[in-house]
Amino acid sequence: MKLIKSIVRPNKVDEVKDALARLNIAGMTVTEVRGHGKQKGHTAIYRGKEYNVSLLPKMEVEVVVADALADEAIKAIVDAARTGEIGDGRVFVFPVLESYRIRTGEREV
């Protein structure tokens, strides 16, 4: 199993969700996060006053998928979240050692 964690633009979450759903990947966790990568943020001016916009609002989408599905899922996320501009985000992939269902205590393979 793989844990796929992607940081995407807030307005792309729905598209990412739909793309994953098309692969029958339904369970996911979505978190509001802030951060920056290469896109360092910028300075905005409002009514004569500068203010720094260094941490940008992003969404973090986490899904756990079977190894066989991982490549497809990653591609789906990248396609859905891409605009071609700086700030499109990142996808991280982690191996998952074990997984348990809390309700039943049953271990998933």
Partner 1 sequence: MIGAASRRDAPDMSLTGPDAGSTLRAALEAAREDLRQEIARGDGGRAALQAHATRVDELLQQLYVEAGVPDRPVAIIALGGYGRRHLSLHSDIDLLVLFGGRIGPSEERFLRSFLHPLWDLGVVVGHQVRELDEFADLETDNPEFLLALLDARLVAGAAALFDRLQAMFHQPTTHAYILRSLLELVEERHARFNDTLYQLEPDVKEAPGALRDVMAARTIAMLTDPVLLRRGPADPGRFEDAEDLLLRVRSVLHLESGRNHNVLSHELQEHTAAVLGYAGAEPRQRVERLMSDYFRHARTVGRTLEWVRRAAPVPVGPNLGLSRDGIRFLDPVRAAAAPASWIGAFQAALEANTEVTDEALSCIQQHAERYRPDDFTPEPRDRAALLRLFRPRPGLYARLSQMHDCGLLGRIFPEFDAVAWRVVRDFYHKYTVDEHTLLTIRNLERLVQTDAPERQRFKAVAASLPSLELLVLALLLHDVGKWRDDEHAPESVRMAAEALDRLQVPPEARETVLFLIRHHLQMSMVAFRRDTEDPEVVREFARLLGTEDRLKLLCLMTLADIEAVSPETLTPWKEELIWRLYVDTYNHLTQRYGDELIGRNAAGLGELLTWRPHDLSEAEIIGFVEGLPQRYLQLFSRDAIYRHVRLARDIGPDEVHLSLEQTDGVWTLAVVTLDKPFLFSNICGVLSSFGMNILRGQALTNSNGLVLDVFQFIDDERFLAMNPDAHGQVLHVLQDVVSGHADVTTRLRGRERSVLQWRGAPRVAPVVRADNTASGRYTILDIVAGNALGLLYRISRVISQHGCDVDLVLISTEGEKAIDVFHITKAGIKLDEAEQRALTSDLQGTLEGTL
Positions in the binding site for partner 1 (CB under 8 A): 9-11, 14, 32-34, 44-49, 53, 57, 83, 85, 87
Cα–Cα nearest to 42, from 87, 103, 95: 87
To partner 1, the closest distance from the beta carbon of 82 in angstroms equals: 12
Q: Looking at beta carbons only, is 47 or 101 nearer to partner 1?
A: 47
Q: Looking at beta carbons only, is 84 or 105 nearer to partner 1?
A: 84
To partner 1, the closest distance from the beta carbon of 57 in angstroms equals: 5
Do residues 60 and 16 touch, judged by C-beta distance below 8 A? no
Q: Where are the alpha helices (DSSP H) in 1-66?
A: 13-22
- DSSP-derived letter for residue 37 is S
Beta bridge partner(s), residue 2: 65, 95
To partner 1, the closest distance from the beta carbon of 35 in angstroms equals: 11
